Amino acid sequence: MTSSDRPNIVLVHWHDLGTHLGTYGVPGVPSLAVDQLAAEGVRFDQAFCATPLCSPARSALMTGRYPHSNGIIGLQHRGWEYADGVETLPMHLRRLGYHSANFGMQHESANPERLGYDEVHDARDPETGWQRADTVVDEAAAWLRAPERRQEPFLAVVGFFEVHRPYPEELYPPDDPDQVAVPAFLPDNAHTRADLAAFQGSIRVADRATGRLIQTLRDEGLLERTWIVFTTDHGMAFPGGKSTLYDPGIRISLIMRPPDDGAAYRREATDRLAAHVDVLPTLLELGGGKVPDEIQGISHAAWLRGGDEPGRAEVFAEKTYHDAYDPMRAVRTGRWKYIRNAEPGPRLVLPQDIEASPTRAGMGDDHLAPRPDVELYDLSEDPWERRNLAGTPGLASVEGELATTLERWQQETGDPLLAGPIPPPDSRD
């Protein structure tokens, strides 16, 4: 494959979304552009982030390596950075002749030049200082209209501040609280409904901006040779979602729309297990490259091209640092979830933005009960992970096998948690 034959790649990522979209079965959500993108491509219904935290999640997405392997196991603005020698998606694609640009959010490094892009467009809204969707898309669309976009393959990574809290009404007019669908893991009351209504107002703004970006690609004749990838960093910023290893915290939107070049790509919804660490190796192979040995995800490229290659048997997730040290690890199969909590604490540790949310005000304090050391859930019978089956005699073999699988993954990927507590970045040598 020559440089001129390689497809363009546009990677769009939102903040704190999870799967709260119409295409993922949530009624009444104003997400028409993303829903249409899913209808034109592959929607992964069982896709998961590596961690339910902003910087570490993006680090896994952009390196194909788990946070404890790539070095970003906590928030970038709290001092965490990539380890020496870790390469990002634009670095890998540069070897294949790609020109790369980042627009808006990245949250991986205090030094954007460390990330390997040829161009970095900060794209901050002058009034709020946030990298809001409309401002980011304005810059990305102008870049896509340049004649140079037709002269070499490109990678455009487009990151929005949305749909992170807060949701000021003047920026994000809320939906009708009486019309929102309340997920089963949240209390259904006026507090939660008002919160979800504001959240969906932010979704509407981000979705319209995403639609403008896609329309620009269409108007410029770029859809014929461009892969569009849509995802988010982790689950929605509500209690029991973001910052937890339960499915509302780690299940993510992942949509891949193939080029309109006439090739027989898959365009369907799938229950095939997928992970953020799989995105980089998949894009490398779609771009005609080979996956380096240090990459810890798997490629779905052959399957996307119509092959019958098997996928994953399980996905892994981790949490180490967010507002505070809170180490835990998990393995999830199609049916089972096994979580090992490395430190005592409450059942849910709420990030500061969730602690201050309307939903928190209406939920009581049951989440402050002590957490168990081990959690085991049968997702086929208990999809919201309410009944911990750890220690059940009849499930000893299942629990033991998952524990072994999790520890093997930790060993193979060099998880420092196996050696004991992990110090904060300002304590490391």
How does pLDDT run across 157-168, given as a tens digit for each residue?
999 999 999 999
Rounded CA separation 49/56 (Å): 10
Contact present, 113 and 147 (Cβ < 8 Å): no
pLDDT at 380: 98
CA–CA distance, 41 with 12 (Å, rounded to integer): 14
Which has the closest alpha carbon to 337: 421, 282, 273, 277? 273
What is the percentage of the chain residues whose pLDDT exceeds 90?
95
> Which residue's entry shows tokens 């000893």?
396
pLDDT interval class at 5 (50, 70, 90): confident
> What is d(CA 363, CA 371) in angstroms, rounded to the nearest whole number?
18
Tell me if residue 136 falls in helix, strand or coil: helix
**Residue 271 above 90 pLDDT?**
yes
- By C-alpha distance, which of 17, 21, 39 is closest to 30? 21
3-state secondary structure of 254: strand
pLDDT of res. 3: 66
Beta-bridged to residue 99, according to DSSP, are: 154
From CA 147, how far away is CA 295, in angstroms rounded? Answer: 34
Average pLDDT over residues 226-243: 98
Could you give the maximum distance between any two Cα atoms of the chain, in Å?
66
Q: Is the pLDDT of residue 135 over 70?
A: yes
Domain segments of the chain as ranges = 3-304, 315-427
Number of alpha helices (DSSP H) and beta strands (DSSP E) in the chain = 12, 13
**Residue 252 predicted with pLDDT over 90:** yes
Three-class DSSP category at 65? coil
**Residue 149 backbone dihedrals phi, psi, to 5 degrees:** -65, -15
Buried b (16+ CB within 10 A) or exposed e, 97-128: bbbbbbbbbbbbbeeeeebbbeebbebebeee
Residue 299: is its pLDDT beyond 50? yes
CATH architecture, range 3-304: 3-Layer(aba) Sandwich (3.40)
Half-sphere exposure of 148 (CA within 13 A, CB side): 9
Question: What pTM was estimated for this model as a whole?
Answer: 0.97
Average pLDDT, whole number, for the chain? 96
Residues in the chain: 429
Cα distances from 4 to residues 142, 143, 149, in angstroms, run: 22, 19, 11
Exposure string of 7-32, with b = 16+ CB inside 10 Å and e = fewer, is bbbbbbbbbbbbbbbbbbebeebbbe
Residue 429 confidence (pLDDT) above 50: no
In DSSP terms, 232 is beta-bridged to 14
Partner residues linked to 14 by β-bridges? 232
Model pLDDT, residue 427: 57
- Model confidence at 391: pLDDT above 50: yes
Q: CB–CB of 230/255 below 8 Å? A: yes
In degrees and rounded to multiples of 5, residue 33 shows phi and psi of -70, -45
Provide φ and ψ at 204, rounded to 5°.
-60, -45
**Position 342 pLDDT exceeds 90:** yes
User: Does 2 have pLDDT greater than 80?
Assistant: no
Fold of 315-427: Arylsulfatase, C-terminal domain (3.30.1120)
Query: If we measure between CA atoms, which residue out of 287, 389, 262, 277 comes closest to residue 49?
Result: 277
Residue 409 to residues 32, 234, 296, 307, 417: CA-CA distances in angstroms? 39, 21, 10, 27, 12
